[in-house]
Amino acid sequence: MAMESVVNVGVGIAAAAARRVPAGGGRVRPPSRGGFAFLSMPSAPQGVAAGLKRLTDLGVGGSLILTLAPAMLVIALIIRLKSPGPILVRQERFGRDLRPFSMLKFRSMVDGAESMLGELSHLNEAGGPLFKIRKDPRLTPVGAVLRRFSLDELPQLVNVLRGEMSLVGPRPPLPPEVEADYLRQRTRLRFPPGMTGLWQVSGRSELRYEAMIGLDYTYMRGWSPLQDIRILLRTVPAVISGKGAC
């Protein structure tokens, strides 16, 4: 079996994987320790299925922007009045086929929060290259509320309409996650990243890095339009409850 068709997320083929060079060039990083293995890559939606997924994104995403526009304007005004700094932040993330894009979010932290990351790295609770801590001291009072109910993520509807994200899909990784775990991130991003997914409705920030990766693989291998609808419906109570928010 061709090595490219093998996705290993354990230790066994780390050395062999490190010698592989991806089609787009660059170095392949060995997979991180722990996890599970698949003998074939999950297949991304193609043809009619891909078109249906995109039409759902455009229809539902467009409707949500129109419906939520007044609330988003109010959130923007509150952020402007309550803390200095920009209303929106643009985070570099990776999309389908490892294409970088700027993901939009309402600012929930103090201005310059990224420069404080090194001082807090020892508090990381997510494991792996993912950084998450409960009661992050960089959060503003308004930002804590936005995070609890995922309201800070509403601007990502613009990313969905642009085609950079989908409503449902794997979590969009940050550059350090791709650098540290290239093989699995490359495989995850055969699908467009999503605003929500199995990771969002199965624990959100309570999940550790390996669990998030596993849920993304589960989603991709069992993908169907009906599964996307189910996840969207499960997202509403998950967000309202605020459980697992960080």
pLDDT in tens, 46-91: 889 899 999 999 999 999 999 999 999 999 999 999 999 999 999 9
Q: Where are the beta strands (DSSP E) in the chain?
A: 7-8, 37-38, 88-94, 100-106, 166-168, 194-196
- If asked whether residues 108 and 27 sit together in one domain, one would say no
pLDDT in tens, 121-131: 777 776 677 77
- If asked whether residues 78 and 138 sit together in one domain, one would say yes
The range of the structural domain enclosing residue 179 comes to 47-241
- If asked whether residues 61 and 117 sit together in one domain, one would say yes
CA angle at residue 30 from 118 to 180, to 5 degrees?
20
Report if residue 246 sits inside a domain: no
Cut 0.75: pTM above it:
yes
Crossing angle of helices 225-241 and 47-82, rounded to 10°: 20
Q: Are 244 and 205 in contact (CB under 8 A)?
A: yes
Residue 68's CB is within 10 A of a number of other CB atoms, namely: 14
- If asked whether residues 28 and 54 sit together in one domain, one would say no
